[in-house]
Structure 1
Amino acid sequence: MISDVTKRFIQCHDFLKESGKVRSSRQFALEINYLPQNLNKVLKGERDIPMEPLRSAVEVFRINPTFLYLGEGKMFMRSEQEEHFRLLTVVTDDNNEEKILHVPVPAMAGYAAEVMDPDFVSELPSYRLPGYDFQYGTFRSFDISGDSMIPYLEPGDKVVCRFIEPQDWITNIRDHHVYVIVSRGNVVVKRVVNNLHRHRHLLLISDNKEFKPYRLNVNDIREVWYVKNRITTFDHSRKDQNTALQNQMETMQTAFQKQHEMLKILLEKEKHQNRENHMTYENQGNS
């Protein structure tokens, strides 16, 4: 069973052929840098369309991503719609392995504003992290600024995030997990309540209760990144704080132990008193 995204992709292909914008399925495949024989299997419903040719089709034929991923709106973008969508640009090393791009605070406004500009993205710092978790998928890291997410995320922290494909927003954005949300002109880190299926918006919540939750409409969302790791500055001064906390825990444990021992003594006294009362009652009965 092919996905709904693939079904809508086939609809777009069929419309382009019927309207004469492409002469054949072969031409369509070559335009999006996809093997014609593989496209033929997609059109027959034997496999899903991979992400890379799907992205190419959006760029080359101006297919509306909202239609592809969510089944809403026109099949193709009008010129005034195009500014609201962009293809995700990635950077690879000499071995063609994808690198992690870092978005520092000074670049955030530009990152949110730039639309399908690979030059801007390619100028961002890039790096790789060891470990299996970072070998598959697209990752990006962002600086934390402001205090809306304290105490869990503090200014100066960095979060390493995995990209959530737009077609997976409805099912893969999990309630009360933390995400980086890129919208029109803004990059924020928030906990999220996913109301896309019923109400077409995300509810964005700060851990700092001084900041009120607010809604972000699906049409204003450009990118969603799942926060996977945090990079924070090591604070040597926290040793004393940890020691104090440990001392408090030990004091509490000692108090609980004393209370437990006192309770045992009281229970033993009560049992002893009950036995004495029982013996007195028996003696009175025998008199």
Structure 2
Amino acid sequence: MQDETDIVAKRFTEIRRELGHTQSDFAKLLGISTTTADIERGRTKLSGKVVAELLKQFKINPLWLFGDSSQQYVNTTNTSVIPKVVTVDTSENENMVLVNAKAAAGYPQNIQDTSWYQQLPAFDLPLPEFRNATYRGFQVEGDSMLPNLKPGEWVLAKAVEDIDDISTNKMYVVVLQDAVLVKKLEKSPNTANIALISLNETYPPYEIERHAIQELWQVSSKITFGVDATTEKGLLKQLQESMEELKSQFKQVKN
């Protein structure tokens, strides 16, 4: 199996050559201090900031960069479910943005507005399960996914590249043009539509057209808080404490 560093270096070089830039010119465009030579040789890791710039300026699919997709460019039409924006922390590593219930109301309308994401809290989880992929945290609203997910809990979800990759055994965060929902998904056998299914049987399933989905995230884990986290600030504080605890546990394992 080809090493991930080799894949990234090869594909990064391929992009530069396709665009017709020298190593120095490409470095200036991407905010790199010198040239892109060390990245192309595999000596320097591709930072989250550079990944974000490649997506923003040239619509390069981050999943393709890391060898997880054959689709090089992001399709910015409504038929693409790939994340429209990725963000980085002060160390230029891609981080995990957290979308609480209040922010979710404005998420679909601001999905491509990079400045809008700056208002949202974001964290870096130094766990191997959350590396080399784009993750986002969403707060669960409503009781449609009971008993598995309770209102106010958080789900950590991995970006999905293609609607055809969905599994009936998984839960997904579905970003529509006017709402952010957590549902199970199922392809309609007779049409090109997608069925949205709640675990709570009081909510009947319903179908939507594929082009109505702006982004799709597969739920990989959840974070549950105690009953004392009754306010939005309290929830975010406990979420931050939980993530700091995970970081501490990870460091202990490494040592």
Q: How does the TM-score come out when normalised to structure 2?
A: 0.57
What is the total number of aligned residue pairs between the two structures? Answer: 215
- Evaluate the alpha carbon distance shift between residue 77 and residue 165 of structure 1 in structure 2; reply closer, same or farther with a 3 A threshold: closer
Q: Which residue of 2 aligns with 1:151?
A: 147
Which secondary structure does the structure 2 equivalent of 1:188 belong to?
Answer: strand
Identity %: 21
Q: Which residue of 2 aligns with 1:119?
A: 115
Amino acid at match of 1:217: R
Which secondary structure does the structure 1 equivalent of 2:105 belong to?
Answer: helix
- Evaluate the alpha carbon distance shift between residue 79 and residue 133 of structure 1 in structure 2; reply closer, same or farther with a 3 A threshold: closer
The C-alpha deviation readout for 1:43-73, integer Å capped at 9, x for no partner, is xxx9996664333122123447798775569
Offset, 1:204: 4.0
Q: Which residue of 1 aligns with 2:17?
A: 14
Residue 27 of structure 1, aligned match among 25, 28, 32: 25
Structure (1 or 2) with the larger CA radius of gyration: 1
Offset, 1:232: 5.0
Matched ranges for 1:65-84 at <5 A: 71=70
- Answer 1 or 2: higher relative contact order, Cα 8 Å, separation at least 6: 2
Q: Which residue of 1 aligns with 2:58?
A: 61
Contact 2:100 2:139 (8 Å CA) reproduced: yes
Query: Which whole-Å CA distance do the structure 2 matches of 1:140 and 1:78 have between them?
Result: 19
Query: Which whole-Å CA distance do the structure 2 matches of 1:191 and 1:119 have between them?
Result: 31
Contact 1:59 1:87 (8 Å CA) reproduced: yes
Offset, 1:161: 0.5
Query: Which whole-Å CA distance do the structure 1 matches of 2:8 and 2:163 have between them?
Result: 13
Contact 2:153 2:225 (8 Å CA) reproduced: yes
Q: Which residue of 2 aligns with 1:40?
A: 40
Unaligned runs of 5+ in 2: 229-255
Report runs of 4+ in structure 1 exceeding 6 Å deviation. Answer: 2-8, 46-50, 64-69, 76-82, 95-99, 168-171, 199-202
Q: By percentage of residues, which structure has more helix?
A: 1
The C-alpha deviation readout for 1:171-204, integer Å capped at 9, x for no partner, is 7x65412232334332111234599xxx998654
Which secondary structure does the structure 2 equivalent of 1:15 belong to?
Answer: helix
Q: Which moved more, 1:182-191 or 1:137-146?
A: 137-146
Amino acid at match of 1:191: K
The C-alpha deviation readout for 1:255-278, integer Å capped at 9, x for no partner, is xxxxxxxxxxxxxxxxxxxxxxxx
Q: Which residue of 1 aligns with 2:104?
A: 108
Query: Which whole-Å CA distance do the structure 2 matches of 1:216 and 1:70 have between them?
Result: 24
Query: Which whole-Å CA distance do the structure 1 matches of 2:181 and 2:9 have between them?
Result: 31
Amino acid at match of 1:152: N
Offset, 1:107: 1.8
Matched ranges for 1:202-221 at <5 A: 204-209=196-201, 210-212=203-205, 214=207, 217=210, 220-221=213-214
Contact 1:141 1:158 (8 Å CA) reproduced: no
The C-alpha deviation readout for 1:30-51, integer Å capped at 9, x for no partner, is 3223551234336xxx999666
Contact 1:194 1:201 (8 Å CA) reproduced: yes
Query: Which whole-Å CA distance do the structure 1 matches of 2:46 and 2:23 have between them?
Result: 14
